[in-house]
A = this chain, B = another copy of it.
Amino acid sequence: MKTETPFELTILGSSSALPTSDRYPTAQVLRVPGRFFLIDCGEGTQIQIRRQKISFSKINHIFISHLHGDHFYGLIGLLSTLNLLGLKKDIHIYSPSELKTLIQPQLDHLKADLQFKVIFHPLNFKKPQKIYSDKKVEVFSFPLKHSSPVCGFLFKEIPKQRNIKKEFIKQYNIPVAEIKNIKTGADFKTTDGKVIPNAELTTLPPRPRSYAFCTDTVFLPEITEIIQNVDLLYHEATFTESMKDWAKKTLHSTAKEAAEIARLAKAGKLIIGHFSARYKTVSEFKKEAKSVFENTETATDGNTYKVEQH
């Protein structure tokens, strides 16, 4: 029996620089077994976390793509709340190094009461880098291109070992030391010299799932190499093609360009967001993106996008 483990993204904010009355600035959580990775933390993130009934105690790793206010102004409020809630586990922040300077005075102001450490991990804007890993997931940053140094993030499940069929362990009396080898792909030789091929002894583990977050960037097709075959892709689409020149000038992408990235990356599904507040509806974004990449959705605050296990 396969036990389903979560790998799902919840949008907390999908507006761009100016929040609207129904879209908060950028923030998302990726739920994986045992924890929530918080990705960007615009103003109001803690309010959205509460509304989504996400456990504050399971947030210990926060990824901040860049230092425009709509991507980090909610951080100090969140840290203050974690502290008021009595949480004591260290908080790791992966961000441009300057973030520390920007919020340190406010952290110092809280400091007398602060019950956990805040550990800053500076991002590398020159090349992709593994910035986090545990037994189940690894996270990479990779440079994007915008008016402020910015990284995207790629979250990948670590491939699981093959599942050994229990009946064979009993049948061939397989020793524990051998089980380890078989799980990594080895065949098994019985005491009478018969070779049982691995494919017979084991079943394939679920395919590792992946999510890529690409925000605030001009159209940058070279990133499709690192995010190739990603299951779920979020890509900013601040404008539609009618404002393509302005998108280029402000180093943002259009919905069509976001879809082009999804197509080149052979992504499973695309979610677009970071819509400019000047658009009254997002229907044009959707139409434009779908013309290039059919499996596109427009981000909506509070929506959850699940990546199934296969």
Determine whether A47 belongs to the interface, using a CB cutoff of 8 Å to chain B.
yes
Interface contact A73-B77, CB-CB below 8 Å: yes
Identify which of residues 100-130 in chain A touch chain B, using a CB-to-CB cut-off of 8 Å. Answer: 101-106, 109-110
A110 to B19: give the CA distance in the assembly, Å: 18
Kindly state the separation between the CA atoms of A3 and B210 in the bound complex, as whole angstroms. 64
Q: Verify A84–B47 contact, CB threshold 8 A.
A: no
Alpha-carbon distance between A139 and B69 when the two chains are bound, in angstroms = 31
Contact (A110, B69) CB under 8 Å given A19-B47, A21-B50, A50-B19: yes
Chain B residues within 8 Å of A101, by CB: 105
Which residues of the other chain, B, contact A73 by a CB distance below 8 angstroms? 76-77, 80
Please tell me how many copies of the chain the complex holds: 2
Q: How far apart are the CA atoms of A18 and B47 in the complex, in Å? A: 9
User: A158 on the interface (CB 8 Å rule)?
Assistant: no
By the criterion CB–CB under 8 Å, are B84 and A43 in contact? Answer: no
With a cutoff of 8 Å between Cβ atoms, the chain B residues found around residue A46 in the complex are 19, 43
Q: A102 touches which one: B51, B69, B109 (CB < 8 A)? A: B109
Contacts of A102 in B (CB 8 A): 105-106, 109
Bound CA span A101–B67, Å: 19
Interface membership of A32, Cβ < 8 A: no
Least distance between A149 CB and chain B CB atoms (Å): 13
Q: Is A203 on the interface with B (CB-CB < 8 A)?
A: no
Interface of chain A, main secondary structure:
helix
List residues of chain B with CB within 8 A of the CB of A67.
109
A24 in contact (CB, < 8 A) = yes
A17 CB-CB contact with B under 8 Å:
yes
Kindly list chain B residues whose C-beta atoms are within 8 Å of the C-beta of A103: 105-106
Cβ 8 A contact of A47, one of B44, B81, B104, B105: B44
Is the CB of A152 closer than 8 A to any CB of chain B? no
Judged by a CB distance under 8 angstroms, whether A74 is at the interface is yes
Residues in B whose Cβ lies below 8 Å from that of A133: none
> Known contacts A43-B46, A47-B44: does B84 contact A17 (CB below 8 Å)?
yes
Q: Tell me the chain A residues, 66-112 only, with Cβ under 8 Å from chain B.
A: 67, 69, 73-74, 76-77, 80-81, 84-85, 98, 101-106, 109-110
Besides the known contacts A24-B47, A43-B44, 19 further A-B residue pairs in the complex with CB atoms under 8 A apart: A17-B80, A17-B81, A17-B84, A18-B81, A18-B84, A19-B46, A19-B50, A20-B50, A21-B50, A21-B51, A43-B43, A43-B46, A44-B47, A69-B77, A69-B110, A102-B106, A102-B109, A104-B105, A105-B105
13 intermolecular pairs with C-beta atoms under 8 Å apart: A18-B81, A19-B46, A24-B47, A43-B46, A43-B47, A44-B44, A44-B47, A67-B109, A69-B110, A73-B80, A102-B105, A104-B105, A105-B105
